[in-house]
Structure 1
Amino acid sequence: MKSLLKFRCVSKSWFFLLSSPLFSKTHVDFCLKNPNLTGYRLAVVASVYGSGRKCNFYNLGFENSCLSLARNSCPVKSLAISARILGSCNGLICLTSDSFTLMLLNPCTGKVNVFPDSMLRSNGGGGGGVGCFIRYGFGYDASFEDYKVVKIFSFPHIEGRFENMVSVYSLKAKSWKMIEGFNSSSLNGKVGVFVNGALHWEACHSHCSGLFWEIVILDLAVERYGKIALPSYEDGGVYWTLSVSRGYLVGCCNYEKNKADVWVMKEYGVEESWTKLVTILLPVHRRAYILPLFVAENCDEFLLQLGEELALYNSRDGSYKRLDGYSSGDYFRQAQATTYFESLASPHM
């Protein structure tokens, strides 16, 4: 990508070619169809005492046949103290900027688009009201070639069910609109995972034998809701987390027994294609939930978010390598992370 950005300076014709939406779309499509040839990156947003929140970016690669990370430049030096990651898609990262604005960032080009957040104006209250839980999602509607941000206002209803009011921001229209809402169990996933044109949130509700988990989805093209069943799991206390790695939906079943099973849906929408990759034993004295951020092609190595820490896990020998360098000398807390690939996608339509 650095070469492509430099090539825009060769001539006017090269500049217009490499700056065109068609070239950007073609490159994004190539990356999506060839995940094994695509270089992936990691973005980390974390609080630094006395400095608000900072963005750090890393290259994901292999060194001596082992998964490794290397720090690269950061176009955004600092963010609002409330900033957090709301999702990534096609090389763009969506973040909160402050209480009333959102931000789309392309870490490769450094371009930023800031736009207003959605406020719920109804009997539920001005910004969601007491007892309202907020959920976000960010993805791409290929049918209209439009990026969309989804904000869900989730209100407790009856018997562990929730009434969800949904607002969608269109980057093309530069505006928010309310769409049909839905009832659901508790949406535990605060940020939706974008895969195959849809956003996915892990959800659970109580019944006589304990908690029942499932995935609630929203298709961005037709704005239709659905569900995907999770793989079977052992009885007892569990907590599911969702992520995406190299274009595949990944589910992690965290057990109270200090272990976690990592699953991947090899064929999207086919529930029988859920495949368990590994059972991870947590380090001694660790009780944090695991969120897989990246799975290597050989499925032997994993980049994990372990509570507030980031670590590389090698399933061949069960070893952890804590990423001390991601704080860059600062004392970080409340870290968030997402993977993305470099592209020329514009945060403006």
Structure 2
Amino acid sequence: MSKLPMDVITDILYRLPVKALVRFKSLSKPCCFLIDDPDFIRDHLNRSIQTRSNLNIILKGLHLYSVEFDALDTAVPLDYPLSNGAGTEAFGSCNGLLAFRITEKNLALYNPSTRLFRRLPVSEIDPPPGESCKSGYVFYGFGQDVKTDDYKVLRMAQFNQNDDEDGEGYFYDYEVKVYSLKNDSWRKITKLPPYLRFMFQFFYHLLHRRGYGVLAGGVLHWVMPPRIELGMRNRIVGFDLGTEEFVEVPQPECANKNYLLDVGVLEGCLCAVCNYDQVSVDVWVMKEYGVKESWSRLLSVQKTRAINTLTFLKPLAYSKFSEKVLLEINNQKFAWYDLQKKKMRSVKIGGSPGTFGAEVYVGSLIPIEDQKRKENEKQNEQGVQKNRNRNKRDDFLSQGFKLVL
């Protein structure tokens, strides 16, 4: 190894999975220094994204499971230090980091490849002052502000009247807060669009866990369900993580007006999923973010004997050579869709839960440790060591005096 040029070693390391790199940090100080270098971490992540390597799928049910994308054979329980039984939800992923909700007050970021985690500071959900209401449904989102290289968590809390039976909550503004990893603090967003009051619809959001924001183009996306009685149709709602403002997102011209809209993402491109009465589904891709004319229909799926109803469909990832797309169907199964042959083939994954939500994440070395916490732990360790040394000295002196006496 000592005779190999450093650029050759670097090129070899770029091609390795994250778990191997974590082990190889103990080979030597130069290797450890290289693998911990921010430029190496960034370039390794970019290479993984470009080559579609180091990809995994997280299955979100009563418990969390991980599946290697290249194999797609076995679901392994995700072991993480913040495990709280069946209560933990993963509500977003970005550059190998997962955002966890343990409770409404207990949120955390976790890198499953390095097993590093970071608890977010507690931020209370405060009802409007002077109003008799209660906290209702809470929307979450997680992503990166590319311009500032900052990772952010968005929380939108809805409020209901205490006697509101359906929990729709038209009466109050949402409380919207953004957490910044760089600042390690929450900030309240006060500029809210009027339509935000109509974001929540009971069956739409609870049935398929649609409260998680979809990240594309540096913007988190949700769908505001149609409300025919109010003259409101499907609408994609976006929150720009850079400007921290809500934005209008253009929609594709679907085949007809009677459809249920959902959103997804394929390799950073926003997808619109148009479901026509659970009989057929079209998946559109926005190739240039924010440009309405760049919407292009990627695929169309019809119900079959094996899939007698299409209640839910979500695109997850392209295959290695982009000839197929992996789909999650009805929160119960996976299928490869061949873009040329326009046919589907089921994928069976052993050990997966009966029902789940799926999300793709890439293995990375992105650090998220709280430096203040590490410094405090180091100071505590130093204090403990000083106390041990002091106790040893006192014991020695005590024994010495006993000998003299």
Q: TM-score range by the shorter chain?
A: 0.7 to 0.9
Instruction: Extract unaligned runs of 5+ from structure 2.
Output: 1-17, 162-167, 200-204, 371-405
Whose helix proportion is higher, 1 or 2?
2
Q: Quick one: which amino acid aligns to residue 61 of structure 2?
A: A
Cα-to-partner distance string for 1:263-291 (whole Å, 9 max, x where unaligned):
11111221111111111113443342112
**Cα drift, residue 42 of structure 1:** 0.6
Aligned pair partner of 2:152 in 148, 158, 181:
148
- Report if aligned partners of 1:161, 1:184 keep a CA contact under 8 Å in 2: no
**Cα drift, residue 295 of structure 1:** 3.2
- Report if aligned partners of 2:135, 2:157 keep a CA contact under 8 Å in 1: no
**Cα drift, residue 344 of structure 1:** 0.2
**Cα drift, residue 112 of structure 1:** 2.0
User: What residue number does 1:59 align with?
Assistant: 68
User: What residue number does 1:43 align with?
Assistant: 58
Matched, 1:25 2:42: yes
Aligned pair partner of 1:255 in 260, 276, 289:
276
Cα-to-partner distance string for 1:222-242 (whole Å, 9 max, x where unaligned):
212211121112445422221
User: What residue number does 1:305 align with?
Assistant: 328
Q: Return the alpha-carbon distance in structure 2 between the equivalents of residues 132 and 125 of structure 1.
A: 17
Task: Compare relative contact order (CA 8 Å, sep 6+) and give the higher one, 1 or 2.
Answer: 1
User: What residue number does 2:343 align with?
Assistant: 318
Aligned pair partner of 1:345 in 359, 366, 374:
366
Q: Quick one: which amino acid aligns to residue 318 of structure 1?
A: K
User: What residue number does 1:229 align with?
Assistant: 250
- Report if aligned partners of 2:138, 2:158 keep a CA contact under 8 Å in 1: yes
Quickly say closer, same or farther: Cα 1:74–1:85, change in 2 above 3 A. closer
Quickly say closer, same or farther: Cα 1:13–1:129, change in 2 above 3 A. farther
Q: Quick one: which amino acid aligns to residue 125 of structure 2?
A: L
SS of residue paired to 1:61 = coil
Cα-to-partner distance string for 1:273-330 (whole Å, 9 max, x where unaligned):
1111111113443342112222336655332222331311334363341534142xxx
User: What residue number does 1:184 align with?
Assistant: 195
User: What residue number does 2:399 align with?
Assistant: none
- Report if aligned partners of 1:301, 1:312 keep a CA contact under 8 Å in 2: no
**Percent of paired sites with the same residue:** 26
- Report if aligned partners of 1:309, 1:322 keep a CA contact under 8 Å in 2: no
Larger radius of gyration: 2
User: Which residues in structure 2 correspond to 1:34-113 (within 5 Å)?
Assistant: 34=50, 36-47=51-62, 53=63, 55-61=64-70, 68-69=72-73, 71=75, 74-76=78-80, 78-113=83-118
Cα-to-partner distance string for 1:34-81 (whole Å, 9 max, x where unaligned):
2x454421111221xxxxx2x22122237xxxxx45556844385432
Quickly say closer, same or farther: Cα 1:240–1:208, change in 2 above 3 A. same
Instruction: Extract unaligned runs of 5+ from structure 1.
Output: 48-52, 63-67
User: Which residues in structure 2 correspond to 1:269-284 (within 5 Å)?
Assistant: 269-284=290-305
Matched, 1:268 2:283: no
Q: Mean alpha-carbon deviation: is it higher for 202-211 or for 148-157?
A: 202-211
Quickly say closer, same or farther: Cα 1:347–1:283, change in 2 above 3 A. farther
Q: Mean alpha-carbon deviation: is it higher for 191-200 or for 5-14?
A: 5-14
**Once superposed, which parts of structure 1, at least 4 consecutive aligned residues long, lie more than 6 Å away?**
156-162
Matched, 1:199 2:220: yes
**Cα drift, residue 169 of structure 1:** 1.1
Q: Return the alpha-carbon distance in structure 2 between the equivalents of residues 12 and 267 of structure 1.
A: 44
User: What residue number does 2:384 align with?
Assistant: none
TM-score by length of 1: 0.82
- Report if aligned partners of 1:252, 1:290 keep a CA contact under 8 Å in 2: yes
Whose strand proportion is higher, 1 or 2?
1
Q: Return the alpha-carbon distance in structure 2 between the equivalents of residues 151 and 125 of structure 1.
A: 22
Q: Quick one: which amino acid aligns to residue 27 of structure 2?
A: V
User: What residue number does 2:402 align with?
Assistant: none
| RMSD of Structure 2 on Structure 1 (CA) | 3.2
Quickly say closer, same or farther: Cα 1:23–1:341, change in 2 above 3 A. same
User: What residue number does 2:180 align with?
Assistant: 170
